[in-house]
Structure 1
């Protein structure tokens, strides 16, 4: 009896990890949104956000979680952002230190601009947790398009992110 009580959660946990690792979120199709939000982190995120912004699929882009030592001109040079795009359409957010902070910074930024739709651009392994954190901070009527950037995440990264995702999910269910 005790073995079954222990085995069932372990099997659920293991199957969940397999699902989490194999069925990673995918890039989104072209869709118009008010804004693009890109949490800093693994490569390809900012480039993907800028690519979408420059096609006119959104009015503005927030890069959330930028290190406080980064200057806008440095960002512009590193990512080869045209001045006309940088000046009108890119906001660097410096207040977030983690994914939960990214969600808070994003919610405030959207509210300040009266936006109600966004495209979340982040790594495939990070998408589920980032979207959960956002869901917790945004009004119910805010539409979020998930646009995952393909990664080459290691097993360690997937393992850690799976547990962070579970923790956020449990806290939201209990909270």
Structure 2
């Protein structure tokens, strides 16, 4: 009986991984939101967030998890952000160090800026976990649009992210 249960769990885990790896999230179209949230850490995320902002699909952009040594002027220069855009529309968050704290930092920013709709911009392989952590941290009345940045992850990245997703779901009590 235990061997069958163990076999079933291994099979369910393997099937879950295959589904996870084959169904990565996709970019969102032109959907208007109050803000765009960009957790740092992956190629193309900030560029996509700025594209959303500049296209008028969001009024503000919050970049979570910026290294405390990076100053606003350095960020602006690195990503070709104008001084006007930095003043009006781009906020850098320096508190987060991982996906869970990105969600917490963003939730605080949402509350203090009366954000009701947000576009989450992150890498396709990272989207499910980032969205789950964010959903767990924000009120139910905040709508999240998932906008994945396409990538070409290797098997190791997918395997690690799948396990991190499962751990996040377990620690959240399978809610989110």
Match of 2:65?
65
Match of 2:104?
104
Query: 1:92-118, CA deviations, whole angstroms, 9 ceiling, x for partnerless residues?
Result: 000001111100000000000111110
Match of 1:77?
77
Alpha-carbon spacing, 1:126–1:11, altered in 2? closer, same or farther (3 Å): same
Q: Which runs of 5+ in 1 are unaligned?
A: none
Match of 1:44?
44
CA–CA distance in structure 1, aligned partners of residues 10 and 106 of structure 2: 36
CA–CA distance in structure 2, aligned partners of residues 118 and 172 of structure 1: 21
Superposed displacement of residue 85, structure 1: 1.1
SS at match of 2:51: helix
CA–CA distance in structure 2, aligned partners of residues 53 and 166 of structure 1: 32
RMSD between aligned alpha carbons?
A: 1.1
Moved over 3 A (4+): none
Superposed displacement of residue 170, structure 1: 1.1
CA–CA distance in structure 2, aligned partners of residues 120 and 85 of structure 1: 19
CA–CA distance in structure 2, aligned partners of residues 107 and 59 of structure 1: 17
> Normalising by structure 1, what TM-score?
0.97
State the number of aligned residues. Answer: 175
Superposed displacement of residue 153, structure 1: 1.0
SS at match of 2:173: helix
Match of 2:5?
5
Superposed displacement of residue 174, structure 1: 6.3
CA–CA distance in structure 1, aligned partners of residues 25 and 99 of structure 2: 17
Superposed displacement of residue 2, structure 1: 3.2
Which has the larger share of helix? 1
CA–CA distance in structure 2, aligned partners of residues 48 and 86 of structure 1: 16
CA–CA distance in structure 1, aligned partners of residues 11 and 136 of structure 2: 28
CA–CA distance in structure 1, aligned partners of residues 113 and 75 of structure 2: 23
Contact 1:17 1:162 in 2 (8 A): yes
Q: Which runs of 5+ in 2 are unaligned?
A: none
Query: 1:25-53, CA deviations, whole angstroms, 9 ceiling, x for partnerless residues?
Result: 00011100000000001100000000010
Alpha-carbon spacing, 1:19–1:55, altered in 2? closer, same or farther (3 Å): same
